[in-house]
Structure 1
Amino acid sequence: MEENRWFLSLIQNEFRTGKIDFDSTMKLLENLQMPFDFVHVKHVFKKIVDKRKAHVINIEDFRAIYRTIVHRPEFNELFRAYSQNSKILADIELIEFLRREQYETESCETTALEIILKYEPIEEVRKRRQMSFEGFIRYLSSEDCSIFKNDHKTVYQDMNHSLCDYFISSSHNTYLISDQLIGPSDLWGYSSALLKGCRCLEIDCWDGSNNEPIVYHGHTLTSKILFRSVIQVIDKYAFMASDYPVVLSLENHCSLKQQEVMAQHLENILGDKLLSSTIGDTVVTQLPSPE
């Protein structure tokens, strides 16, 4: 009951007009102080608004988005395994969880209290030294439970070797967001890959109508998007997640005439971002480094 009151009090003010757009959805999720993946939220939001044929969502839609982010079944199973009433974790139940699942062997009582004070969002529950499911998932989703090394979240390798000396985060059939035979081609595939830090994108190019090259999975029923639009999206998102070079892997099936159009779009849209000549010495003996 407390959990529902807490959640509703936070979101009802945002929905005073009845519906909210994507930007307001993102702000509300940030206010709820839950870690989330921008691309995943955008994908779920898009599925909902496409179904409704609108660009806004209602309060029930938001609750559905929230649940897809935080209410993972494995979290629920863990919580129920240690909570006697499946609603609240008492401090002794949290201590048992820390000992058996997190392998905390020292000062468990102190650690449990610190976790409750840090992650429990409901004041009444926090005062009783207990943890709600909302607090539990905040803890499990936090940096304290991450197995990823913090010092590896920034570039820690030597990036001055030749480009071909590195494993490059690459995307295959980047434009496809479903299956490879009849699914849709979508610009979201490119923005999504780049926001995840991808540094190599595939663009399958074919002759289109009105002398405009198109991108799709050739000889299939996948939908088609304009090559020009793909390059515009790449220009916008290329360096949001990383400053390192982006490789465009062009699978080129276009006629010479439309290849010229492709070249024009690359030069006109990307401008100075496009590497069109060698770097430094005129005699090149190896690829440049990522730096």
Structure 2
Amino acid sequence: MKRADLNHDEKLSYEEVQGLLTMINIDLNEEYARNLFKKCDRSCDGRLDHGEIEVFCRELLRRPELDAVFSRYSANGCVLSTVDLKDFLKDQGEDSSLIHAQSLILTYELNEWAQKNGYMTPNGFTMYMLSKENNVFDPDHARVYQDMTRSLAHYFISSSHNTYLTSDQVTGYSSTEAYIRALNQGCRCVELDCWDGDKGEPVIYHGHTLTSKVPFTEVIETIAEYAFKASPYPLILSLENHCSVEQQAVMARHLRSILGDKLLTKPLNEQQLQSLPSPE
């Protein structure tokens, strides 16, 4: 909040709230954002204080479908008792012991009074339902759990087409940023469309179009820096080569000098040439 509070008055104007949302990567419809701001501006001074910002953030997390579930199990419509929460857990096929219900309240309920008295408020219920405990994905699959000792040809490989482009294939902008984004997302095969450039230096772009060009050396330097930040597994460089023999030699020189020992130039095990190596 301090970073968003540009005038340091410990309150946020609508424009400052928009800046805060940008910082935390939340993109809201303009009309919805303004209406939510006005709803939370209880002092009607066009700015949100700490309490109003807390309400604003809670509204962002609010899920009507969860409110409906909460109301269905709440005996008084205001909070869930440990018994109410126990009934909910039982219907979901979860551990429905009172001890487990109490532990969930202690973990996810932020209201001190409710936590102390064994109740879960709508906010606490939302926090619980949106937590990792209710993730639809198997948590064991958050890490690589497959057998990674087989040949590379036995796997689907996360690949990127025309990796250098940030937009369309006709007039789009070519940038090293596109490679950074792909590699940070775990991509293991990136494409480099290589063409003869000025002054004997190859460039990368979508040939015979109006896309901009990015120097081959800049792309290789970027790949050298980001290749293994998100994944330790081999990175395949798909070189669509349109260069002359002279500039192909320049490409080879840059690949060797920039990538160094990261570049595979000969079989890992000369005794086993029948199949590709494994990712490991």
Q: TM-score range by the shorter chain?
A: 0.5 to 0.7
Q: Summarize deviations over 1:202-227 as a string: whole Å, max 9, x none.
A: 11112222222222222333322222
Per the alignment, do residues 281 and 140 of structure 1 end up closer, same or farther by CA in structure 2, a change over 3 Å counting? same
C-alpha separation in 2, matches of 1:123 and 1:231: 54
Structure 1 residues 205 and 142: CA distance shift in structure 2, 3 A: farther
5 Å-filtered alignment, 1:181-200, equals 181-200=170-189
CA drift at 1:178: 2.5
1:78-93 pair list within 5 angstroms: 78-82=65-69, 90-91=79-80
Please list every run of 5 or more consecutive structure 2 residues that lacks an aligned counterpart in the other structure.
9-14, 28-56, 72-76
Distance 1:235 1:182 in 2: 27
Match of 1:224 in 2: 213
For 1:207, the aligned partner's letter is D
Give the superposition deviation at 1:144: 0.9
1:59–1:79: structure 2 CA closer, same or farther, 3 Å change rule? same
Please give the TM-score of this superposition, normalised by the length of structure 2: 0.68
Contact 1:91 1:113 in 2 (8 A): no
Q: Which stretch shows the higher mean deviation, 179-188 or 118-127?
A: 118-127
Residues 224-275 of structure 1 show CA distances to partners (whole Å, capped at 9, x for unaligned) of 2222111111111111122111100111112222212211111111100000
Count how many residue pairs are aligned between Structure 1 and Structure 2.
Answer: 238
Structure 2 counterparts to residues 4-43 of structure 1, below 5 A: 11-12=1-2
Deviates more, 1:107-116 or 1:274-283: 107-116
- Counting aligned pairs with the same residue, the percent is 43
Q: Matches of 2:255 and 2:16 in 1, distance apart?
A: 40
Match of 2:24?
66
Q: Compared with structure 1, are the counterparts of its residues 74 and 142 closer, same or farther at alpha carbon in structure 2 (3 Å cutoff)?
A: closer
Cα distance change, pair 113–131 in 1 and its aligned pair in 2 (3 A): farther
Map of 1:77 onto structure 2: 64
Deviation per CA, 1:122-143: give whole Å up to 9, x if none.
Answer: 656655734465x566444432
Q: Structure 1 residue aligned with 2:106, among 83, 105, 117?
A: 117
Q: Does 1:204 align with 2:162?
A: no
> What is the CA distance between 1:150 and its match in structure 2?
2.5
CA displacement 1:132-191 (0-9 Å, x = unmatched): 65x566444432122222222333332222221211111112222333333322222212
Task: Give, in whole Å, the separation in 1 of the partners of 2:58 and 2:202.
Answer: 43
**1:270 alignment partner, one of 259, 270, 275:** 259
Runs (5+) with no aligned partner, structure 1? 1-10, 20-56
- The structure-2 alpha-carbon separation of the partners of 1:137 and 1:204, relative to structure 1 and needing over 3 Å to count, comes to farther
How far off is 1:279 after superposition?
1.6
- SS where residue 191 of structure 2 aligns? strand
Determine if contact 2:6/2:16 at 8 Å carries over to the other structure.
no
Residue deviations 1:96-120, cap 9 Å, x none? 99569x8346628765554443234
Alignment RMSD: 3.8
Distance 1:81 1:181, change over 3 A: farther
Which range moves more in the overlay, 236-245 or 72-81?
72-81
What's the offset of the Cα at 1:79?
Answer: 4.0
Which amino acid is 1:76 matched to?
Answer: R
User: How many angstroms apart in 1 are the aligned matches of 2:85 and 2:121?
Assistant: 11
Measure, in 2, the Cα distance between the counterparts of 1:236 and 1:218.
26
* Worse-matched range after superposition: 143-152 or 193-202: 143-152
Say which SS state the counterpart of residue 179 (structure 1) adopts.
coil
| Structure whose CA Rg is larger | 2
Partner of 1:23: none
1:285 matched to which residue of 2?
274
Q: Provide TM-score, normalisation by structure 1.
A: 0.66
User: CA distance change for structure 1 residues 159 and 127 in 2, over 3 Å: closer, same or farther?
Assistant: same
For residues 193 and 137 of structure 1, what CA distance do their matches in structure 2 show? 33
